Amino acid sequence: MDIAELKQKWAGQTFDTVSFEVDGSELVEFALACGETLPRYTDRSDDDFQAVPSYTSRYHGRRQLPEGFPVDMEQSFDGGKCVEWQAPIRPGDTLIGRSRIHDIFEKTGRSGGMMFIVHRMEFTNQRDELVSIVDWKMIQKLG
């Protein structure tokens, strides 16, 4: 498989767009279940009440990869998630999540080659402000 060719053909194009309504009680439950103690994340009456910085990692699009992407992801495993906070997310916000393949690269280890596919979801709010970026690494063994 030519990784460079795969990247050139598939990376960068938005293949899925989904909207999410932000619910205040869900923000509180998420925060408390993670052991959060700061009122700005756990108390809806706090003047600065908002989602914890990693909150958008809970959201998924309708599909993981573009239609027709030529790799069977049944054999892939989760390589982790990176969340970049950009601005506060508040209850009542409407978020738009746009998915694209951000990067495709190869690494070689003791057990052979592995392909990394970085699925990026960018979230904007109802004012079109970027509030969060979530990168999800999917790993597949090559060969």
Binding residues for another protein (CB under 8 A): 26, 29-38, 41, 52-54, 57-58, 78-85, 135
Q: Of 76, 65, 68, 58, which is closest to residue 20 (Cα–Cα)?
A: 58
Considering the complex, state which of residue 100 and residue 137 has its C-beta at the smaller distance from another protein.
137
Q: How far is the CB of 51 from another protein (least distance, A)?
A: 11
**In one letter, which amino acid is 71?**
V
Q: How far is the CB of 121 from another protein (least distance, A)?
A: 13
Is residue 51 within 8 Å of 87, Cβ to Cβ? no
- How far does CA 133 lie from the centroid of its chain? 6
Q: How far is CA 100 from CA 11, 31, 66, in A?
A: 7, 28, 8
Q: How far is the CB of 57 from another protein (least distance, A)?
A: 4
Considering the complex, state which of residue 43 and residue 84 has its C-beta at the smaller distance from another protein.
84
Considering the complex, state which of residue 4 and residue 34 has its C-beta at the smaller distance from another protein.
34
Q: How far is the CB of 137 from another protein (least distance, A)?
A: 8
Q: Which residues contact 47 (CB under 8 A, 6 or more apart)?
A: none
Considering the complex, state which of residue 6 and residue 89 has its C-beta at the smaller distance from another protein.
89
Nearest-angstrom CA–CA distance, 118 and 76: 12
Q: Which helix (H) or strand (E) holds 27?
A: helix 24-33
